[in-house]
Structure 1
Amino acid sequence: MTAAVFITIRDKPQMTLIKTAIEHDTEGKANLKVTFPAVTKGEGQEPKADYDNATTISVPLDADQDWFDKNAELIEAEIWKYETDAYAFTAPDITDVVTKYFHNFDPESEVRLVMKGPTPRQCRGNGDPEHLGRKEFVNFPDVLPIQVANEASLRELNGRLSQSGADEITIERFRPNVIVHSDNLEAWEEDEWKTLRVNPPRNYLGSLSTLTGINNESIDVDVAARCARCHVPNVDPDTAVENKKEPWSTLCKYRRIDDGVKYKPCFGMLACPRNEGKIEVGMDVEIREVTRAAGGKAENHMYVKGF
């Protein structure tokens, strides 16, 4: 059987209009809510998203095998030429919504919604044990589980965009999982971050972790590599329209800094958590170790291709 091949905003920028959220039902069980906007097309105009008439589907994130047997099939999925297993949803109330949305843009497309299957998918590249020092696993992200962004770097980039006459952009363009904000942070200092700790916000356990170094409900994160950017940040997340130049052109002028991926600019850092836990708005982020702290060099974060 031929493996299903993943698609991203690189190929179909209209995917940026799909909204996702994790919700909990009355029993506390988590569900993935996926919202597909209706699409309106004026003559000679780009398609527009209509969220007032959107269609929403919901799938459980902790379903048992019996649920999967009734609503999905186990298939092979290909990500960057590496195969892993996936549950492809077969229930009509899911498949019909997905098919209808993508047919708005490509009537010949055959797109399915899938969830990672039971076999662990080991990280490659900077997440390989040879570089990370341990085995790390990920579901369907391209390379590593987490991307961390520094808000100060976005402000610096926006200053350059504004000065050149281009529109400023929001952090959503870069799709980070964790956004760090502080008046004390300098732009691009994340290039040298090596180890972070995410602490519970403003409570005793968070303070105790900071003072003693003992991890109490905190999440320790290894920063493994810079995030080399494709043209996805050029896509406006509100319209799915791709700018032909920015911010790619501006970033290329001064952020092609990684010898491991010389022809792409870098924004954000790719990282791997050492332990599981909850991350939410308002948590404190400690920068516990940087690459130069022990005589190291920022080049320690050199990008290693993982696909």
Structure 2
Amino acid sequence: MTHFTLSDIYIYPVKSLAGISVRHWPVTKTGLLHDRKWMLIDKDRQFLSQRKLPRMALIKTALAENDLVLSAPGMENLILPLTPEGGEIIDSTIWRDQCDARSVSPKADQWLSRFLNIDCRLVYQPDDEIRRVDPNYAQTTDQVSFADGFPFLIISENSLASLNREMGLDFPITRFRPNLVIAGCPAYAEDSWREIRIGAIDFRLPKPCSRCSVPTIDPETAQTGKEPLITLNRVRKWQNKVYFGQNALHDQCGVLTVGDIVQVKSTGPSQPPI
């Protein structure tokens, strides 16, 4: 078995807002604790993301002992409980999924609507709400929070280094919003991984991650550009989509720590096949 290391862990408490780098973090049935347990929806109850509102990148998230804290330029901090109580049940949409979500508070809705200049609401995934993963790629017991489709996104450091060389730029990994970053493996080695173990947790990698416009948004300024999509279209295109990183599912709960050993348990043909 080949061994590499876990070099970074990122959580994104609110879908499509700024993430948080952590060193040591619990893994629950839906993925990393608090990861994408909140999201914004519009007046039609459709989820909102940086694809539509790049300004969402400017909203920073932080976790206190019992609070979720949102901050943004020109705004007073918004402090919310980590375990919301009550709230209206709202049938919300994430891509093709219908999910029961709970409203958080009128104060949160007003704060976010004001900063983003759009009528929106903040909702939370109750602990008893089960959102299944696409059965074409998952087991019947697999669950996910408000992530696009899978609990984890895995990218290797050397894949980013290779892409940066192709672009002649120095983009940070945060552009690509991974959960787990792997050090020590060759560029795009993760394309062939099917089963890995990180620390004491086993992962399945059933599907590569197709990329949208979000990596073109500078997470510090919310300004958009043309890279990395131009280069990805040249070097990582397959069937009219571009791919960077691998979606992943976990087989156990537990704890992940930066520095954990990554063991590649099984491999297969490269996905995408490029």
TM-score (ref. length: structure 2): 0.78
Q: Counterpart in 1 of 2:47?
A: 6
The match for 1:171 is 173
Which of 193, 199, 221 aligns to 2:203? It is 221
Instruction: Find out whether 1:86 has 2:101 as its counterpart.
Output: yes
Give the superposition deviation at 1:35. Answer: 1.8
SS at match of 2:110: helix
Matches of 2:106 and 2:113 in 1, distance apart? 12
What is the CA–CA distance in structure 1 between the aligned matches of 2:81 and 2:254, rounded to whole Å?
Answer: 19
Aligned to 1:268, what secondary structure does the other structure show?
strand
Q: After superposition, where does 1:90-109 map in structure 2 within 5 Å?
A: 90-92=105-107, 94-103=108-117, 109=118
SS of equivalent residue, structure 1 residue 5 = coil
> What does residue range 132-281 of structure 1 map to in structure 2 within 5 Å?
132-162=138-168, 167-182=169-184, 185-199=185-199, 218-243=200-225, 245-257=226-238, 262-281=239-258
Q: Deviations over 1:58-91 (max 9, x none)?
A: 333334xxxx22xx22111111132111111224
**What does the per-residue CA deviation read over 1:158-208, in whole Å, with 9 as the maximum and x for residues that have no partner?**
11111xxxx3211111000001112xx111111001112111xxxxxxxxx
Given that 1:17 and 1:239 are in contact with CA atoms closer than 8 Å, whether structure 2 keeps it comes out as yes
Q: Deviation at 1:96?
A: 2.7
Is the 1:148–1:270 Cα contact (8 Å) retained in structure 2? yes
Matches within 5 A, 1:69-80: 69=86, 72-80=87-95
**Alignment partner, residue 32 of structure 1:** 68
Query: Does the Cα contact within 8 Å between 1:195 and 1:287 map onto a contact in 2?
Result: yes
> Aligned partner of 1:226: which letter?
P
Quick one: distance in 2 between partners of 1:181 and 1:253? 25
Structure in which a larger fraction of residues adopt helix: 1
> Counterparts of 1:76 and 1:16 in 2: how far apart (Å)?
25
Q: Secondary structure at the match of 1:141?
A: coil
Q: Quick one: which amino acid aligns to residue 62 of structure 1? A: T
Please tell me whether the aligned partners of residues 137 and 207 of structure 2 are also in contact (alpha carbons under 8 angstroms): no
Does 2:123 correspond to 1:114?
Answer: yes
Letter of the 1:236 partner, please give it: D
Provide the identity percentage.
Answer: 30
**Aligned partners of 2:53 and 2:116 also within 8 Å:** no
User: Any conservation in 2 of the 1:73–1:90 contact (CA below 8 Å)?
Assistant: no
Name whichever structure is richer in strand by fraction.
Answer: 2
Q: How many residues align?
A: 230
**Cα deviation, residue 55, structure 1:** 2.5
Structure 2 vs 1, CA of residues 99 and 13 (structure 1 numbering), >3 Å: closer, same or farther? same
Are the counterparts in 1 of residues 203 and 251 from structure 2 also a CA contact under 8 Å?
yes
Cα offset for 1:3? 5.4
Backbone CA RMSD of aligned residues: 1.9
**Equivalent residue, structure 2, for 1:16:** 57
CA drift at 1:57: 2.1
Bigger mean CA deviation after superposition, 76-85 or 230-239: 76-85
Look at both structures and tell me which one has the larger radius of gyration over its CA atoms: 1
Aligned to 1:195, the other structure's residue is in SS state strand
In the alignment, the residues of structure 1 paired with residue 262 and residue 124 of structure 2 have an alpha-carbon distance, to the nearest angstrom, of 30
Instruction: Tell me how far apart the structure 1 counterparts of residues 113 and 224 of structure 2 sit (CA, whole Å).
Output: 23
Query: What residue ranges of structure 1 are gaps of 5+ in the alignment?
Result: 25-29, 39-53, 104-108, 200-217, 292-296, 303-307
